[in-house]
A and B are shown apart, each in its own frame.
Chain A
Amino acid sequence: MTVTLQDSSASAVIEARRTYNEKLSRKTDQTRATWFPLALLALLAALPLLQFVGNYNYVLHLVLFTASYVAMASSWNILGGFAGYVSLGHAVFFGVGGYFSGMLLARYGISTLITAPLAGLVAAAIGYGVGLVTLKVRGPSFIISSIALLMIARILFDNWHFIGGANGLTLPTNDLTVQWAKLPYYYAMLAIAAFTVWSAYKIKHSKFGLGLRALSKDEIKAESAGIDTRFYKVVAFALSAFFVGMAGAVWGEYLTYLRPNIFLLILVSANMVLMCILGGKGTIAGPVIGAILIVALNELFVATMGASEINILGTGLVMAIGLMFFPLGLVGTLARSGKLPRILNWD
């Protein structure tokens, strides 16, 4: 069968095709729910009002703790999720941030709320330097190099008397009443978490983010596509250290003491990794959901089983079962199958 087209209908076809193409090129994700994280943030910002009607310090502590992990997991996600380099050494930047700002507080009395960005920069600079060396290898070798970094840092901090060694360092407390003492850190941590999530979103949707996603799949291809993979990776490492460092700074003053066995724990790193994996590596909402879930699960199991070893088993079990059904993490798997609720689509 042959089809013959009149001149007019041929141009109509071309016209139709052009508009179709234009429609395709303009296609954007219309289901993104930017309002939801903003509403959540507003709600959490208003939460301390509860202090007027009672003592909700425990609730504030939980939110603050979760926010710190939201910041850290989202930050880890820049390197681990976007660029595909799993680091188990990110606790180092938590420690560096905490100690840097903590020392400034202890020696000069400058609050970490002011020096936190500086602590982030110091962490980023260290991340940049470490990245130059360790990002030459990938996969298991990189993971091991990151653990080595953590162990080196731990030995260093344990034996560095200027910063208190293994005994740590006590920081001055603020002079607010118990009712309001948490608030400065609460808002600071909330701001850091929000800033981190926003930055992760901006990074994911930038040329840089696209390049990271490309190199996470195939570094040789990415390099031959014109991406300076070495530079991208190192910058990703520095950025992902930056936010962790900021969170560490505020966390130190909040705790009022610094000790290597609080900051430089592989558990802290592992938490960031697990949160990202459970929530969905490489997504924006994933680390947030993961952080909320893991902190909530931990609290739940500690409350029901006590702080024995069994509570860890409970969390581990839930994680294992969760990942059986959601291999790409909650957000990742739901998005892949097109079942992601709109409120969790932040990408």
Chain B
Amino acid sequence: MLEVKNLCKHFGGIKAVDGATFTVEKGAITALIGPNGAGKTTAFNCISRTAAPTSGEVWLDGERIDHLRPHKITAKGLSRTFQISRNLGDMTVIENVIVQSRVDGLRGLFRPAMSREEKDKAMSILDFLGITRIAHEDGHNLSYGQKKLMDLAALLMSDPKIILLDEPAGGVNPSLMEEIVGHIRALNDKGLTVLIVEHNMDLIMRLSHKVVVMAHGKVICAGTPDVVRKDPHVLDAYLGGVLEDEAA
């Protein structure tokens, strides 16, 4: 469904992403892991075009998207969350959610901000995530965990085909983490494709169908959680070991 081919992103001399190639299969949960600085978030940014890739290609459903602007990519059905929740402070939760719903054409631009259907849809999403009670709360009054849930809710409002989650459980308590895991699984069961960056290995191993491991901007291993867990390259990357061919 999503194909990343030879993706590169250089910041001056730093090669944050250096020829990463991987695919995300339709209907699966794919995890992107790697030690800090491996280029996971940068890869995310290049896929969603929040940052422009230096070179390489990104294909979504057979269509090349790496030259499109971010809002176009969202319209194509690829939505993302941010590692540090970027919610819109002065707006209520329901506005934060509805802002993500699709607007078509010039006339769509000047119709009322929140139609009844959109409100109902937003409320059903909030209900699914169990946060209806904060619907009319201002964005900046929320706790960190609530913001994470709100991000997820906003994501769903745009009817995405594939969602990119950047550390959805980063910095949240274990019980909320379980809740978020449950939500992601439920969404996946409904047919939503998920690409997720996460540091919590336990969560990754339980949740994902496929794991892509990055280190130094390159993909060093990809496969099922069990395969990845036993891969010597992955162990080396995480434990800081020296590969034999490098040592030689």
**Chain A residues at the B interface, C-beta cutoff of 8 Å:** 17, 20-22, 24-27, 202-203, 205-211, 213-214, 217-218, 220-230, 235
Contact = CB atoms under 8 A, between A and B. Distances in A.
A19 to B, nearest CB: 12
A25 B90 contact: no
30 contacts: A20-B132, A21-B127, A24-B135, A25-B120, A25-B123, A26-B119, A203-B110, A205-B112, A206-B110, A206-B111, A207-B112, A208-B110, A210-B91, A210-B114, A211-B103, A217-B89, A217-B90, A218-B88, A222-B88, A222-B99, A224-B48, A224-B70, A224-B71, A224-B79, A224-B82, A225-B100, A226-B71, A226-B79, A226-B100, A226-B102
Contact of B135 (A17, A25, A221, A228): A25
A27 B136 contact: yes
A214 B103 contact: no
Contacts of A205: 112-113
Contacts of B95: 210, 213
Interface string B99-123: 1101100001111111000011011
A211 to B, nearest CB: 7
Contact of A21 (B48, B87, B123): B123
Nearest to B133: A24
Nearest to A328: B90
B86 interface: yes
A21 to B, nearest CB: 5
B98 to A, nearest CB: 7
Given A205-B113, A225-B71, 16 more contacts: A17-B127, A25-B123, A203-B110, A207-B110, A207-B113, A210-B91, A210-B95, A210-B99, A211-B109, A220-B70, A222-B99, A224-B48, A224-B71, A224-B74, A228-B69, A228-B71
Contacts of B154: 225
Given A221-B82, A224-B50, A225-B158, A207 B103 contact: yes
A217 B91 contact: yes
Contacts of A203: 110
B113 A218 contact: no
A75 to B, nearest CB: 17
Interface residues of B, number: 40
B137 to A, nearest CB: 11
B132 A226 contact: no
B40 interface: no
B91 A213 contact: yes
Nearest to A224: B70
Contacts of B82: 221, 224
Contacts of A214: 88, 91, 99
B220 interface: no
A208 to B, nearest CB: 4
Contacts of B135: 24-25, 27
A20 B111 CA distance: 27
A20 B74 CA distance: 32
A227 B109 contact: no
Contact of B90 (A20, A213, A221): A213
B126 to A, nearest CB: 8
Contacts of A21: 123, 127, 132
A253 B66 CA distance: 53
Given A206-B109, A210-B95, A223 B70 contact: yes
B75 interface: yes
Contacts of B80: 224
Interface string B146-160: 000000001000100
Contacts of B50: 220, 223-224
Contacts of B74: 224-226
Interface in B38-53: 48, 50
The 9 closest A-B pairs by CB, nearest first: A226-B74, A221-B86, A25-B123, A210-B113, A217-B88, A223-B70, A25-B119, A208-B109, A225-B100
Nearest to A209: B113
Given A25-B120, A210-B113, A223-B70, A218 B86 contact: yes
Nearest to B90: A217
